[in-house]
């Protein structure tokens, strides 16, 4: 009987040892699983926060760029440059004055107008624009430019172009600005 009691006791101790080992292994696996689940939850939360922070910062940067571009486009020096470029390219052999419809925000310096006329040998006929568009033209060709719309388009083109590798933002901005200088029929100008 003593022998039987020992065998039963040994079996109980062995079973208890196996049960302890099994529970220890299960607890270890549960700990790994719970730790990994916690890590993934924290990683997802931090990645989401980082993504939201990045998106907010990007939106602020885009807004700042849009404001800067619109300020550039509403600068009188930009208008001078556009007039000068137009005078240098379009029908230099005509006597017809180049009409310039100036938006309310544009204040051309009379000395600058004289300089533009003297350098190009062309007359400028200045008049107020009935809207916020700068229109430069003569005959069937005109350049029409609205700073707010142009700055929005430039920023959108810059954003699309900036996604490509090695994007040259300056080149994209110039290309977008030049795309706004469209030839239109004179009847479309103010």
pLDDT digits (tens, 9 = 90+) for 124-153: 888 888 887 888 888 777 888 777 777 777
In a domain, 66, yes or no: no
Upper half-sphere CA count for residue 95 (Cβ side, 13 Å): 0
Considering only CA atoms, which of 128, 127, 134 is closest in space to residue 182? 134
Domain stops at, among 37, 61, 85: 61
Q: Is 60 exceeded by the pLDDT of residue 187?
A: no
CA dist., res. 54 & res. 100, Å (int) = 43
Domain stops at, among 34, 61, 88: 61
Task: Quote the pLDDT of residue 90.
Answer: 61
Q: How many helices (H) and strands (E) does the chain have?
A: 5, 4
In a shared domain, residues 169 and 79 = yes
In a domain, 69, yes or no: no
In a domain, 68, yes or no: no
In a shared domain, residues 97 and 51 = no
DSSP lists the bridge partners of residue 135 as: 101, 144
In a domain, 46, yes or no: yes
Task: Quote the pLDDT of residue 186.
Answer: 39
In a shared domain, residues 85 and 40 = no
Sequential DSSP letters for 115-146 = HHHHHHT--EEEEE-SSS-EEEEETTEEEEE-
Find the mean pLDDT for residues 83-107. 79
- Global pTM reads 0.51
In a shared domain, residues 148 and 172 = yes
The domain tally of the chain equals 2
Sequential DSSP letters for 28-82 = HHHHHHHHHHHHHHHHHHHHHHHHHHHHHHHHHHHHHHHHHHHHHHTSHHHHHHH
Higher pLDDT, 168 or 55: 55
At 45, the pLDDT band (50, 70, 90 cuts) reads confident
Q: Is 80 exceeded by the pLDDT of residue 189?
A: no
Task: Quote the pLDDT of residue 167.
Answer: 46
CA dist., res. 175 & res. 71, Å (int) = 18
Q: Is 109 helix (H, G, I), strand (E, B) or coil?
A: coil
In a shared domain, residues 47 and 86 = no
Domain stops at, among 61, 84, 111: 61
Which domain, by its residues, includes 10? 1-61
In a domain, 54, yes or no: yes
DSSP lists the bridge partners of residue 144 as: 135
């Amino acid at each position: 009987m003593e022998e039987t009691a020992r065998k039963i006791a040994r079996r109980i101790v062995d079973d208890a040892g196996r049960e302890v080992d099994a529970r220890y292994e299960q607890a270890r696996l549960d700990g790994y699983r719970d730790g990994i689940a916690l890590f993934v939850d924290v990683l997802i939360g931090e990645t989401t926060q980082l993504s939201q922070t990045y998106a907010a910062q990007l939106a602020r940067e885009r807004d700042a760029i849009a404001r800067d571009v619109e300020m550039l486009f509403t600068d009188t020096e930009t208008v001078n440059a556009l007039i000068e470029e137009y005078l240098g390219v379009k029908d230099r052999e005509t006597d017809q004055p180049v009409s310039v419809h100036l938006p309310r925000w544009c204040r051309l310096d009379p000395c600058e107008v004289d300089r533009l006329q003297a350098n190009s040998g062309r007359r400028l006929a200045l008049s107020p624009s009935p809207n916020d568009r700068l229109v430069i033209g003569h005959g069937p060709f005109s350049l029409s430019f609205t700073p707010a719309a142009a700055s929005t388009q430039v920023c959108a083109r810059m954003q699309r172009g900036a996604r490509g590798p090695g994007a040259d933002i300056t080149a994209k901005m110039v290309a977008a600005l030049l795309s706004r200088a469209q030839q239109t029929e004179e009847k479309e100008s103010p």
